[in-house]
Structure 1
C-alpha cells in the first residue's frame, strides 16, 4: 500500500473551525499538507488555523466565506496562491430536526442553501483548478440520512441525498480530468453540536439521552471526529488512487447490522 501522506499537497477544508471539519484539517496538517481552513466566521477560521499550525508544525491558512454565497466562494478560491488545489473536503453543513409536517419552507430553503448549494459552489471552483492540473481529489460529507430513512430528518436527508448524487455525477464527469470524487456517510458522530442539542432540548437528562443516541449504532457508541478524519485522510491520499465514485459508510454497523 502507498504511504498514507499528503506531503506536498494543498488541501482546503470547509467548516474547518470546529467538529468534523476541524478534525479533518488537523489530520491533513499532521500528514504534511498545506491546509486552508475555510469557515463562515473569520475569527474562528483564524483561531483554528493558528492552533492547528502550532500543534502540527504544518503551514495552515484561514479563509472566511459563506459557502452558500457564490461570489464569496469564488473570492476565497481566488485567494489560493498560484491557483493550485490538490484536495477539497466539503464538511460545512447545518442540521435540522423535523418531519415533512413540521418543516417550514424557510427551514427547507436554509438547509438547501448551505448543504447543497454550498457543496455545488465549492466543487465548481475546485474543479476549475483541478481540471487545469489534470489531478485532484474531492471528498464530500454526506450521511447515512442519504440512503436510510431517519425519523425527523426530512430536510437534512434531502440535502445529504443531493450531496451523494452530486458526488457520483462529479466522479463520472471528471474522470477525463484525473479528478477523484467520493463521499463519506457517517452515522451519529459526537461533536459539540450533539452536546448543544442535548443541553437545549433535554436539560438534566443529557447522560440518559447520550446513551440512547449511542445505542442507535449496533457497535454501541457514536463515532468520533478523529475516526472520520482518519477515513478522510485515506480517501484523499494516493493510497486510495483506485477509489472514485464511492459513498463510504462509517456508521458503526447502522446500515447493515440493525
Structure 2
C-alpha cells in the first residue's frame, strides 16, 4: 500500500464517530461514508457495534468484517480513530457484572483486554490507531427499541468511567493515544450534563473543538474549522473554543 499523503484521519466505529462530521446529526451507515465540515476527516459509521464484539469473527453487526474491509482500503501509516464502548456501558456491562458477580473494574477489564489487544494488531500492521473514549450515558431514563439501557444514569456513568480508565491504561501499554471529554460532560455525582448531547445520546458538535485540539497534538495535523460553521452555531462553539484555549 502507498502511504497516506493527504493527512487524512479515518474515523471508524459506532454512531459516535458522527461527532467528527461537525453537525448535530448522525452520518449514514456504511457502505456510505461522510466527509466532515472539518478538513482531513473521513467518517465510516459501522452501525450499533459494541467493543466486545468488535473483534469477533461473527456477530450480529459484522463489526470486524466491516472494519477490516475499510482498513484494507486505507493507506498504511494513516491515522485511524476508532469508537466503540458506549453501547457496552449503556446496555451490557452492568448486567454482566451482576450475572457474573464481578466488580465494575473486573468486567471492564475483561472487555478492555479483548478490544484493545485487537486494536494493537491493527497498529502492528502499520496504522496509527487512536481511540475515541465513550461519551457519557444518555440522560433520558425511558427506553426505546433503538436506544435501550440497563441501570440508572449514575450507574451507567460510573461504569463508563471505569471502562475509560481501563481503556487508557491498556492503550498506554501499546502506545495507543486516546481522546475524549468525559470530565467536562459528567457532574461529580455522575449525572450527564445535558447540553453536551444533542439528542440525549450523541455528543453535540460543541465538544468537537476539544477533540480536535487533542488530535492536533497527537497527529501534528493542522485541523481547522470552517468560519461559516462557527458563525452558524450562534457563538456556542466559539465560547467553548475559547474556554478550552484552542
TM-score, normalisation: structure 2: 0.50
Identify, as 1 or 2, the structure richer in helix. Answer: 1
